[in-house]
Structure 1
């Protein structure tokens, strides 16, 4: 055997290549049988990731032990005799090689796990000593996760029902898995009854780098904010939480991304008022109801004061699809004065501000946006409702094409019934090649559609997708009557979408002819 094959790093690269490129369980099994040098590393790779749960491990036990169908996810299980210590000899050889395991929902888990737990030899603890990643998707019977837990686990994903029994287990999980770095917990239902247990669970964790789960109270939130390595937080807070009563600060010294839903905009504002100097790169806020312009300005001000102006590159604030106003109302629109509050974040490359009642921003306002963020890659200003008349015209596209040469994704609602003057006279030719995705909401448009297509095609040479609010909506007979105008606009815009590739091809041919003529001269 070549001496290079005695080097463990080389073997690991070979086995990793086989596993990824060929999904090579068969190749790895063949290598494991080839010689002793290959056997151990090949078996490690074969058993490292158990995506089918524990069933492959169970099949290593004696065949007379139970009745288990030979399917990836068996639905029937029957123990034929008691499990004895010798039945564990072969499975334990492979159990110590497992680094990641996925437990899928299964009706036989309540039968399998009690039998395994009761029969596991007393000197074997934990069952999977090298396990670092655990996914638990079985919503009931969370108690049996204890069989799988170990101090080596750094990644834990739990999907469970918020029963009192399940919730009672969380403090135990924190004690056993004290080195958790990545934690996701999703509940199927309201976990309000488990606030005390969940708070105790979260306050026992100090090594998290990523957390995605509800935070039940201020004490837990305060602790989470002080974890030195926390970089990513996705959470929700109870509606009755009060930020005004206690005097405290939320440092989040290492946080880079935060995703927060709020039923009321005031809660979001109070949250960010408790923060300062956040070096966030990505902020995603989801508001579940319409907000007044004044309340929006207050939130934007709190964001401006809480976050570093030099680090934030992605900002998304969704005002939800619940229209509590009922009609267009200037008091609820996002205007250019509001957006100016965000100009301090000079390095933004992605901005999404949603409103159900529309925007009070015209072409001059969009020019301010373009001047503030010439490096912008994604700009989304979705008007989710059908009430407000857009103040933007097609000319705003020319402004963005000229000022934002890197813009790749754009969503705006504009008035396309009037076509700006052709590029002549005082207009210089503007061409932008980065934009590939244009979403125009429910923008008014009139025939002939070719004029609009010609205008857009001249600006964006590589535009590959144009969509509206109805691009992914199936029209039933009731919708045809209720949304007649929106459907009519959509149909015309789809004509524009069909014409864009043809116009782009014509323009490319003209450019080639021009080059040939210049070459001939």
Structure 2
């Protein structure tokens, strides 16, 4: 055996590669564990590090092995709930069987308990003081009850994912207030007691690093603002009609000193505006919003509030999606219908203060972002570090031209990915003029007011000469790609001919 294989760190790297890159990696780890003593412990640690159900662990019990794996084969083609229906009639693990179980459960670092798991009852006879999962760091608990949960809550637990807001959440945080990562999927917007339970539970967490949950009340926001450990918060209302009255009894919170990532999804614009107006985010790097498109006046207020935030000098990523607006809009195939004046949003000027932007993605459905050559030039001049720029809406007549686009792009030497609505019909640059190539752009999507570019050969020639490093194209450019590939093939043939001669 090579001496390098006797170094634990080297072995762990090799074995970890097996589980990530190679098919049947877990079978390979099992084989390695029986190869020699040096391989046994690190291979077994990785083999049992992530367990997605209790079946593998219980399958190691002699009495249950044939039952578990016979049922498992049946389950692959039948209903899960009926498959395990008879198992609760079997006896829980005995003291001897518990020792067998602990041989492998002590290695588990990440565990998922699925919905209606009927196998948990096998652990019910284990004494409460027994540390069944002493190394468990991450737990996904999808059961609706905290029954038997104590044996899954070691002091090492730092991350927990719950499916709903119920008594399980209160039980969890009461016993593990040192949780660092807490995620809750769903809640009933009609149940005020669930929302109160959620906010009260969050206020018991003292060391949160990342939180993902439904909307919180203002007392919970106040508590979070005082946590120096907090780095990321995602609020997701899952398109419910819920509106938490943040405006009532509101006061300014303490600064979120170290919060770097804030995401508010499927909530109301009023909720987001209230949070931004009454909070300070001096360290915020990424801000994400997704909600149903509000009225134009409220949308403008949202962007104005964002521009007044204390993050303007450091914010690097903004991702805002506004969709599902219910008003009727003009037919985009009717060139005679101008966009309704009240639905044109002048959002870009509100974002010019974010001089450190590296990623900006604005996706508006049912409204129109005011964007032309002049606005684009001012914007790109304000964002010299921009790497990814995506501005899409339901605009009827693109106002940005090729000349305006290339002039603006000179201000952004690091631009790598671009998606924008552009006028591809009125080509306002001389195809025979000496180009000034932009060599950092790799991905391009040019949306048009039609499903395809009407002059694909000319557009392909412009892209080929002005943007020579493009390796990905999309949007309405499907018919452009054909001509672009022909130009590249011809250029490659020319280079090969010169090299041959």
Does the C-alpha gap of structure 1 residues 73 and 442 become closer, same or farther in structure 2, counting only changes over 3 Å? farther
The equivalent of 1:220 in structure 2 is 220
Secondary structure in 2 aligned to 1:255? coil
Secondary structure in 2 aligned to 1:319? strand
Query: What is the alpha-carbon distance in structure 2 between the residues aligned to residue 360 and residue 174 of structure 1?
Result: 47
Say whether residues 1:173 and 2:172 are aligned partners.
Answer: yes
- Is 1:290–1:332's contact at 8 Å kept on the other side of the alignment? no
Say whether residues 1:343 and 2:388 are aligned partners.
Answer: no
Deviation at 1:131, TM superposition (A): 0.6
Alignment counterpart, residue 305 of structure 2, candidates 281, 302, 307:
302
Does the C-alpha gap of structure 1 residues 392 and 259 become closer, same or farther in structure 2, counting only changes over 3 Å? same
Deviation at 1:394, TM superposition (A): 3.1
Say whether residues 1:254 and 2:255 are aligned partners.
Answer: no
Secondary structure in 1 aligned to 2:45? helix
- Is 2:438–2:467's contact at 8 Å kept on the other side of the alignment? yes
Does the C-alpha gap of structure 1 residues 72 and 148 become closer, same or farther in structure 2, counting only changes over 3 Å? farther
Does the C-alpha gap of structure 1 residues 8 and 216 become closer, same or farther in structure 2, counting only changes over 3 Å? same
Query: What is the alpha-carbon distance in structure 2 between the residues aligned to residue 394 and residue 65 of structure 1?
Result: 68
Does the C-alpha gap of structure 1 residues 224 and 324 become closer, same or farther in structure 2, counting only changes over 3 Å? farther
Say whether residues 1:127 and 2:132 are aligned partners.
Answer: yes
The equivalent of 1:403 in structure 2 is 411
Number of equivalences: 475
- Is 1:264–1:287's contact at 8 Å kept on the other side of the alignment? yes
Secondary structure in 2 aligned to 1:366? helix
Deviation at 1:313, TM superposition (A): 0.9
Does the C-alpha gap of structure 1 residues 63 and 368 become closer, same or farther in structure 2, counting only changes over 3 Å? same
The equivalent of 1:362 in structure 2 is 372
- Is 2:216–2:244's contact at 8 Å kept on the other side of the alignment? no
Deviation at 1:42, TM superposition (A): 3.7
The equivalent of 2:426 in structure 1 is 418
Gaps of 5+ in 2: 331-338
- Is 1:304–1:344's contact at 8 Å kept on the other side of the alignment? yes
Range with bigger deviation, 313-322 or 70-79: 70-79
Deviation at 1:430, TM superposition (A): 1.7
Does the C-alpha gap of structure 1 residues 421 and 10 become closer, same or farther in structure 2, counting only changes over 3 Å? closer
The equivalent of 1:485 in structure 2 is none
The equivalent of 1:371 in structure 2 is 381
Query: What is the alpha-carbon distance in structure 2 between the residues aligned to residue 12 and residue 65 of structure 1?
Result: 29
The equivalent of 1:429 in structure 2 is 435
Q: Deviations over 1:166-215 (max 9, x none)?
A: x0221110022222112211016546441222122101101111111113
TM-score between the two structures when normalised by the length of structure 1 = 0.81
| TM-align CA RMSD | 3.2
The equivalent of 1:86 in structure 2 is 96
The equivalent of 2:485 in structure 1 is 501
Say whether residues 1:48 and 2:58 are aligned partners.
Answer: no
- Is 1:311–1:347's contact at 8 Å kept on the other side of the alignment? yes
Does the C-alpha gap of structure 1 residues 464 and 14 become closer, same or farther in structure 2, counting only changes over 3 Å? closer
Once the two structures are superposed, the pairs formed by residues 18-417 of structure 1 within 5 Å of their partners are 18-20=18-20, 22=22, 24-33=25-34, 38-51=39-52, 53-63=53-63, 67-70=67-70, 71=72, 74=75, 75=80, 76-77=83-84, 78-79=86-87, 81-83=90-92, 84-105=94-115, 109=117, 111-117=118-124, 119-124=125-130, 126-136=131-141, 138=142, 140-141=144-145, 143-160=147-164, 167-187=166-186, 190=189, 192-236=192-236, 238-243=242-247, 245-261=249-265, 263-292=267-296, 294-324=297-327, 326-327=329-330, 328-335=339-346, 338-355=347-364, 356-383=366-393, 385=394, 388-417=396-425
Gaps of 5+ in 1: 469-489
Deviation at 1:253, TM superposition (A): 0.9
Secondary structure in 1 aligned to 2:352? coil
- Is 1:357–1:388's contact at 8 Å kept on the other side of the alignment? no
